[in-house]
């Protein structure tokens, strides 16, 4: 039976790499994917992984009818065997409903990939709707790691290396961008609560309050 499957995890845990691997494996069997993405790090209309792999995709604009787009492709003779959606957390809840309709009415598998919570530990609307509707939720087994070595469970937004907890929910950045720009870092819950990024930890380790200086 066709399924709506939500592959979830923190940033840097291999979601996009898995999406590309699924597309590769199925294309080798003659199956054709319709691939959607939103705000990929490689630019509009791209699905990319941090390993350097990239493929063309359809940019899922905020008001795009995803179900209608799939129907149009099939009506025009396009071969569509299944659907992949990367950065699914950025989709509107009604677009998630459209993906569920692709499964139920068109009998196609839909594989959605995304993070569940934002930098404030709040659910993205798209992820919330996926949790509500998905036939199956898969947590990726490749664990991202906090700077301390513990399993990373939270996504932190940084500006100039310092963690911020206010601002728009969606601001495009990456875990490997310049420190002076908006970026993201994965942290364990303890260090997310303490707002201690890797940059803050390094600064703390160099502080005279941490490393005593011998008296004259």
Active site residues: 87
Is 89 assigned to a binding site? yes
Is 146 assigned to a binding site? no
CA distance 32 to 78: 9
Is 86 assigned to a binding site? yes
Is 59 assigned to a binding site? no
Is 141 assigned to a binding site? no
Label residue 26 exposed, middle or buried (CB < 10 Å: 0-12, 13-18, 19+): middle
Number of helices (H), then strands (E), in the chain: 6, 11
User: DSSP code of 111?
Assistant: E
Is 88 assigned to a binding site? yes
Is 9 assigned to a binding site? yes
CA distance 22 to 16: 10
Binding residues for ATP: 9-16, 86-89
Binding residues: 9-16, 86-89
């Amino acid at each position: 039976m066709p399924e709506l499957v939500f592959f979830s995890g923190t940033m840097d845990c291999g979601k996009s790499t898995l999406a590309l691997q699924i597309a590769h494996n199925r294309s080798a069997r003659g199956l054709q994917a319709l691939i959607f993405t939103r705000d990929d790090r490689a630019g509009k209309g791209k699905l990319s992984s941090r390993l350097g792999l990239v493929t063309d995709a359809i940019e899922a604009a905020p008001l795009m009818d995803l179900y209608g787009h799939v129907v149009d492709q099939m009506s025009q003779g396009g071969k569509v065997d299944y659907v992949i959606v990367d950065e699914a957390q950025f989709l509107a809840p009604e677009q998630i409903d459209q993906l569920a309709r692709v499964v139920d009415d068109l009998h196609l598998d839909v594989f959605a990939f995304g993070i569940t919570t934002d930098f404030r530990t709040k659910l993205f609307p798209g992820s919330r709707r996926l949790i509500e509707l998905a036939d199956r939720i898969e947590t990726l087994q490749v664990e991202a790691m906090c700077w301390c070595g513990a399993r990373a469970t939270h996504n932190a937004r940084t500006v100039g290396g310092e963690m911020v907890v206010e601002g728009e929910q969606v601001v495009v950045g990456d875990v490997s961008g310049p420190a002076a720009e908006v970026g993201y870092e994965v942290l364990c819950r303890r260090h997310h609560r303490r707002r201690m990024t890797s940059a803050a930890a390094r600064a703390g380790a160099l502080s005279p309050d941490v490393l005593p200086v011998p008296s004259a």
